[in-house]
C-alpha cells in the first residue's frame, strides 16, 4: 500500500475545508509542475490561530497534507505556527511516498504565506528567514534585487 491510513483518512475526510471571510491572513501557493494549488485562510486572535481553513486543488496527498497542516496549527500561537515544517506534516501523516513529499512542502509554504500576509496587512515586522529557507518561490521573486 502506497498511502498510510492517516493519509487516506485526511484525504477522505479532510478537516478545515473551506474559506474564512475577512481572514486575517491568506496564503496561496502553487506548483505548476504538478498542478497543485493550496490556499490557507487564518483567523488570528491575540496572536493565536483561532480558526484555519484551506482550499486545495490537487491530488490526494496535497489534500491530506493541507488537512493535516491545518490541524497542526489550529489553536497554536503564531510563533509556534512558524516552526511548522513539511517533515512534521509528513511524520504526522505517517509518511508520504517520495514523489509526493512536495505536497507537504506546499502545505508548509501555504501556512507561512498566510502568516506573512497577516504580518504585512498589520504592519508587523518579521524576520524574512522565518518564512524561507532560500528554496521557495518567495525568495526567487527577489532574485537580483538589492
| CA dist., res. 120 & res. 124, Å (int) | 6
Q: To which residue does cell 504585512 refer?
A: 120
| CA dist., res. 60 & res. 100, Å (int) | 10
| CA dist., res. 82 & res. 58, Å (int) | 24
Q: Smallest Cα–Cα separation from 16: which of 63, 48, 61?
A: 63
Out of 34, 132, 136, 138, the active site residue is: 34
Out of 59, 103, 132, 136, the active site residue is: 103
Q: Smallest Cα–Cα separation from 81: which of 58, 48, 103?
A: 48
Q: Smallest Cα–Cα separation from 42: which of 133, 127, 119?
A: 119
Grid coordinates belonging to 108: 508548509
103 is catalytic: yes
Residues with active-site annotation? 34, 103
Amino acid at each position: 500500500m502506497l498511502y498510510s491510513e492517516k493519509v487516506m483518512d485526511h484525504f477522505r475526510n479532510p478537516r478545515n475545508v473551506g474559506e474564512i471571510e475577512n481572514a486575517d491572513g491568506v496564503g496561496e501557493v502553487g506548483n505548476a509542475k504538478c498542478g497543485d494549488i493550496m490556499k490557507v485562510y487564518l483567523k488570528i486572535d491575540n496572536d493565536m490561530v483561532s480558526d484555519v481553513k484551506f482550499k486545495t486543488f490537487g491530488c490526494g496527498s496535497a489534500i491530506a497534507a493541507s488537512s493535516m497542516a491545518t490541524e497542526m496549527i489550529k489553536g497554536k500561537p503564531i510563533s509556534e505556527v512558524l516552526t511548522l515544517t513539511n517533515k512534521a506534516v509528513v511524520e504526522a501523516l505517517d509518511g508520504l511516498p517520495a514523489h509526493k513529499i512536495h505536497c507537504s512542502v506546499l502545505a508548509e509554504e501555504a501556512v507561512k504565506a498566510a502568516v506573512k500576509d497577516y504580518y504585512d496587512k498589520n504592519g508587523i515586522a518579521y524576520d524574512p528567514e522565518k518564512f524561507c529557507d532560500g528554496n521557495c518561490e518567495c525568495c526567487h521573486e527577489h532574485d537580483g534585487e538589492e
